[in-house]
Amino acid sequence: MTVKAMTASEVAKKVINNEPFFILDVRNGDAFADWKIEGGNIQYINTPYFDLLDGVEEVVSELPTDRDILVVCAKEGSSIMVAEMLSEEGVNVSYLSGGMKAWSEHLEPVKVGDLENGGELYQFVRIGKGCLSYMAISEGEAAVIDATRMADIFLDFAQEKGAVIKHVFDTHLHADHISGGRKIAEATGATYYLPPADAENVEFDYEKLVNGLEAVVGSTKVEALYSPGHTIGSTSFIVDNQFLMSGDILFIDSIGRPDLAGLAEDWVGDLRESLYSRFQELAEELTVLPAHFMIIEELNEDGSVAKKLSELFKENHGLNISDEQEFRDMVTKNLPPQPNAYEDIRKTNMGKITPDEEVQREMEIGPNRCAVR
Amino acid sequence: MNVDKVLDAKGLACPMPIVKTRKEMKGLESGQILEILVTDKGAKADLTAWAKSGGHDLLDHKEDGDVLKFWIQKG
């Protein structure tokens, strides 16, 4: 029996469709505990491949017979070995092609809406890591917001849609993933914008992303709204008067953490003001499109991550803490661990270091951890 | 350190560094030390976890350019 490869794209579709399947994760216990493929209908066992070298008999009895089985490891080599051993025992399994590295890099484009004067808005769901990027397309022009390192995916997508990328924005200097913004701008001649307050130490030229800036994309526009707190420069966008890209300030079921640049105490007041003053003044019908999701339950049925601002005002705990001290405590104390390699990721996004691709891939392994709940 | 055996696993991808380490280890006596050279970055966490689960001692490790060196004492 030969073992089948399953692509990250196929696994993503199973997760979005909430299909039942079983994962035998053969990475070491720490790697599994830190980060794994998440989904509402997935069962797991974690047995490191090096405990299976003498034979897989022990694990066979733990495998279900009523659902597909996927063997997962970091890069794929060990999962192929284990899948072949299982296959020799007569168990029908697949392995994840490219392993967790491919899972971390997979982007699933999902259309989130039509623009008023024609045009479309797409969300790129990086399902393995929880990062969300956007592309607004109107009359052959496009704007990209918070692009991930995999720049080619955005370049190819725009080309498929017959659009020229004119503007590339990052809502802030990211600490959890490496931005593809500069690369896309270089490849297309588009303008690359960064909030100047986040960009004091960057080593490249950029356009200043300031409050009130309006960028025209075909027959629609992208407007910048300064909303500091996750970083001091964090800026949100209102697109087509319908959509609010809230960056890492406001998520669906959580809010941004202010500590990833080491200044939690200084920025907590800004975070409070952005969420409790600036956003309160916006139209409640806006659809909030954040830069991350944290848990798979935040995905809508179509795989998108989006909710009306009015609903978030009602349901998001982080928007409903009237006591200011309680809010301060929540966002500065008992914070989750920081993202993997976040300091080197920030330096890479500033252009201070340029690690080769394999190292960049390694730096991004793990969940994003940009929120507090 | 008195190294009893050196395993050159440079250029090999997971799972081979562990597969080979395990094989070499079988030929050693308890208390003897194996030096392992690898270039696969993932080997660090895996060798550490493997040594622990097998009752061996990871005595030390060092990065020398692209090469990771490990010293494991058989338990």
Active site residue B35: no
For residues A152-176, give the mean pLDDT.
Answer: 97
Does A296 or A170 have the greater pLDDT score?
A170
The dihedral sign for the CA sequence A238, A240, A241, A243: negative
The predicted complex's ipTM stands at: 0.90
The alpha-carbon gap from A31 to the nearest alpha carbon of chain B, in Å, equals 8
For residues A136-149, give the mean pLDDT.
Answer: 98
For residues B9-19, give the mean pLDDT.
Answer: 94
**Cβ separation of A30 and B18 shorter than 8 Å?**
no
One-character DSSP codes across A208-240: E--TT-EEEETTEEEEEEE--SSSSS-EEEEET
Residues β-bridged to residue B72: B34, B58
Comparing CB atoms, the residue among B14, B22, B53 nearest residue A75 is B14
Does the pLDDT at position A1 exceed 70?
no
**Cβ separation of B18 and A51 shorter than 8 Å?**
no
- Over the stretch A228-276, which tens digit does the pLDDT of each residue have? 999 999 999 999 999 999 999 999 999 999 988 778 888 999 999 999 9
- Asked whether A184 and A174 are in contact (CB, 8 A), the reply is no
- What pLDDT is stored for residue A339 in this prediction? 82
The pTM assigned to this predicted structure is 0.91
For residues A162-184, give the mean pLDDT.
Answer: 97
Catalytic residue of the set B14, B19, B49, B67:
B14
**Cβ separation of A48 and B46 shorter than 8 Å?**
yes
Is A302 buried (19+), middle (13-18) or exposed (0-12) by CB count in 10 A? exposed
Tell me the catalytic residues of A.
Answer: 73
- What pLDDT is stored for residue B41 in this prediction? 85
- Please give the sequence-ordered ranges of beta strands (E in DSSP) within chain A, or none if there are none: 4-6, 21-25, 42-46, 69-72, 94-96, 108-114, 120-126, 131-138, 141-145, 164-169, 191-194, 207-208, 214-217, 220-226, 235-239, 243-247, 255-256, 287-290, 307-308, 371-372
For residues B2-19, give the mean pLDDT.
Answer: 94
